[in-house]
Structure formats: structure tokens, C-alpha cells
Structure 1
């Protein structure tokens, strides 16, 4: 019991792009316009940050390519993404984790994620003996990766060189996690194309992403975006 009470709270990391038309959710265009796709990306990011704001954590960090906007909720620190390919940028994100505490990295493409999916496995009582957490994506990738004892070297060993954005991404990462005790998180669908957006909006109909999708598909103009600093 004493060890559970002394267990440090986790660092939550979200890696994202600023939702700027033409830079995000490009696989939704067409049928969406770049402005609609950016509005959907902003909604997905806002839902993700809002949900993770309710998960117990020591620090909450948004690892951002771009500038934050009014969609950023209170309680989040913003740090810039590193240069390089996605594998390098994902690995570098773990360097921002609090020393001695577990860290979980989540992307911006799964607005249907719930607090319970993360809070229970990351709780001090449940994480004893776990070395890593893996959240598989339906397309063969992954939507979450957690490390119980994150270091920059470990993150690089696990992630650098993993082929990204293909149906082998998750399998290759799991191979690299071989020998570690891995806690499996529920499989989720990343929002990449229109079919994904339809599915995710139906799974979380009360979220901002679902409301934005309904607005887009109803034939109305794209919802007004919150905007971002410096743009």
C-alpha cells in the first residue's frame, strides 16, 4: 500500500499539428474543403485534450508543430516538436517526460478516447510490473504508447526506424517491445479518411468532433475555427 501511495503520477503527452487548412487531415480533401478538414482536426484535438485533462497526471504536455490557439484548455504546457521524421519526433517527445514517472503519448486522431481507457491502466495499483502500454489502431498503426520508465535512449531504441503510416507500423513496434511486459489498451480507429470520420463520430456523438462532422456533412459551411496565435 505504501508503494502505491508513493507512486508518481504519469506525464501525459499529446503530439499534434496546429490545425491549419492544407496542413491537417488532407486525406479528407475531397470531399471536404481544406477549411472543413482543419475544423475537423481542431475538433478532434480539442476533444482529445479535454478528455486527457480529466485523467490523473503530474504533467500534461502538448508537443506541438505550430502555435497554440484558443482550443488549448488550461493546465497544458506546450513544447515544440523536434525536427525529423515522425518516428524521430515521437521518440523526442518522451524526452519531455517528468523524471522517474511513467509517460503516455497519444495522438490527435482519436477523439473517441475516454478517460477510463487511460486512467485505469495508468493507476498506481494497476501499473505495477508493467513496462509499457500499447494502443493498437485499426489501420495497423498505434494510437498510444506508454513507457513506465521513459528515457530518451529507450524511446529512440523503440521508435526510430519504425516505418510510419503503414499497416506494419504497430506490428514492428510490438516486435521492439518484445521482452517487456506490455499493457494492451483498447484498439481505436484513427481519423484518416471519410469512413473513419463516420465511424468515430458515431462512437462519440456528443463530442465536438461529431458535432463538427454533422455540420460538414449537412452541407453547411465549415464551423468557425478558434484560430491560433501567430497565424
Structure 2
């Protein structure tokens, strides 16, 4: 049991919101490939590891202010130890490889997202969020707000849209498969399609302020320049080393 899950003496636990980082073990040549170049495969894998560490720490900070439990929603099966090494002992693990049977229309990455939501809700949480691992400086307040909204009475969804048209967070109180059906994943229409699904099933949708994912050279430049979000100390330290030893700013400069 984490510090975010206090037991009520002689009674049931208070309701909690699970937040699961969609996580894959960092691996050179398979992690952050859209950042190669300007990064080398080894640098991209190191950045992926830094993102996981900072995102897990960010959830832990949020859990000091709201009843939040942290998870890494990992894939593939068998990578538990490699993922756990980057998220810490206070972060639980839940398989999210999308292999269980899914409703019609839930395909691709949507299978993994729904698998993660189902897995966290099955552990007794009142709500569950899937969280991008590509937003290491996401303001902690966004996570607290997501939990507060989801733990309020009444069914609803919470959406945190990304600047690129996707989303960095989706939270649900029930595993509404329609929210993951017939979505063109990895396109700029994901957030809009998710809003449309909520309208179609009559599910109230609360929107958080937007943020950005770091998945290509322009968004990496945004991360380097940005100062308004979560401190992300592991990521910042790595970027500093890459600048000192690898002239990162020169590699990011327009040709």
C-alpha cells in the first residue's frame, strides 16, 4: 500500500484515483526514435528513462495533495523489472499490452489504453487515468485536478489535450470502451475524436488545460526553453549533460 492509500480505521479505504504512466522500458533503437536525429539512439533511450523517472516523481508529488495511486502501465509482458527500475518502488505495475479480448472497434494503441484502465479499476480504485510518458514537465496541478474531478460524484471523463492534437491524459470512472473505439491513433485528430465519443455516449467531459508532448526535435526545443511546468530534475540534468558534452543546441539549430 502506498502513502496515497491510507486505511480508514475499522472501515473501507477512502476512494482513490489511479494514474498510470503508459510505459515501455527504454531501449536504444526503440525509444524516442523520432528524436533520432538530433539525438543518438543511446541518448534517446536515456531521455526516455529520464521522462519515466520524472513523471513518476510528479505523480508522487500530486499524491501528497490528492488521493492518487501511481502505476506504470507497461508493455510488453515480461518487461516488468526493466520498467520498475525507472519508476521506483512506490509505483505499482499493471500490464497494458492490449492482448485481452476487446470490443469491436478498439484497435491499436487503444487496446493498450483500455487494458490499462480496466486493470487499474479492477484493483479497486474509484477512477483511473492513463498518462503520457512524453510530458515530463506537466504541471503537477493538472494531475491533482484530474483526480479531484474524477472523485467527485457522478460519472464523467477528464481529458488533457496535447498541443499536437492528441492527449496527455484521459481519466475515467468506468471503462467506457467507446472512448477508445475507432480512433486514428498517432494523428492530430485523437483528442477531437475522443471528445466526439464522449458526446455520443452522453458522458460529461471535463477538460484540463492543454500541455505538450516531447516526441520530435521541435518539441524537444520547446522543452529546453520551457520553464513554467514541473521541475523534471532528472530530465533537466540529462539535457544539461547533453549540451555540455554533445552540443545539443547546435544539433537542434535549423540547418
Q: Is the 8 A contact 1:201 1:209 kept in 2?
A: no
Contact 2:20 2:71 in 1 (8 A): yes
Task: Write the distance in 2 (CA, Å) between the matches of 1:62 and 1:12.
Answer: 8
> 2-side partners of 1:181 and 1:139: how far apart?
23
**Residue in structure 2 matching 1:93, options 116, 119, 125:** 116
Q: CA deviation at 1:194?
A: 1.4
Which residue does 1:169 correspond to in 2?
A: 190
| SS of equivalent residue, structure 2 residue 209 | coil
Deviation at 1:206? 5.5
Query: What TM-score does the superposition give when structure 2 sets the normalisation length?
Result: 0.75
The answer (yes or no) to whether the contact 1:91–1:160 under 8 Å persists in 2 is: no
Structure 2 match to 1:226: none
Contact 1:134 1:184 in 2 (8 A): yes
Pair 1:146 & 2:171 matched: yes
- 1:34 to partner: Cα distance: 0.1
Going from structure 1 to structure 2, the CA distance change for 1:207 and 1:171 (only over 3 Å counts) comes to: same
Q: More helix by proportion, 1 or 2?
A: 2
- CA 1:210/1:201 → structure 2, altered by over 3 Å: closer, same or farther? farther
User: How much does 1:193 deviate?
Assistant: 0.8
Deviations 1:4-60 (A, max 9, x none): xx9612111111111111111001101210000001111111110100012234532
Hey, what does 1:195 align to over in structure 2?
A: 218
Distance 1:220 1:121 in 2: 38
CA gap of 1:8–1:68, structure 2 versus 1, over 3 A, is same
Query: Aligned residue for 1:80?
Result: 95
User: Quick one: higher RCO (CA 8 Å, sep 6+), 1 or 2?
Assistant: 1
| 1:144, distance to aligned residue in structure 2 (A) | 0.3
C-alpha RMSD of the superposition: 2.4
Which stretch of structure 1 is more off in the superposition, 190-199 or 60-69?
A: 60-69
Paired position in structure 1 for 2:131: 106
Q: Cα deviations across residues 146-186 of structure 1 (Å, max 9, x unaligned)? A: 01x223xx1x2210321111111111111001122211112
Is 1:59 the equivalent of 2:69? yes
Q: Find out whether 1:209 has 2:235 as its counterpart.
A: yes
Q: 1:124 to 1:62 in 2, by over 3 A?
A: same
TM, length-normalised to structure 1? 0.83
Segments of structure 2 that go 5 or more residues without pairing to the other structure are 1-12, 100-107, 249-255
Runs of 4+ aligned structure 1 residues displaced above 3 Å come to 124-130, 217-222
CA contact (8 A) 2:24 2:74 kept: yes
Pair 1:120–1:87, CA change in 2 (3 A): closer
Counterpart in the other structure of 1:229: none
1:117 pairs with 2:115: no
3-state SS, counterpart of residue 82 of structure 1 = coil
Moved more, 79-88 or 40-49: 79-88
- Does the 8 Å contact 1:121/1:127 carry over to 2? no
Contact 1:202 1:210 in 2 (8 A): no
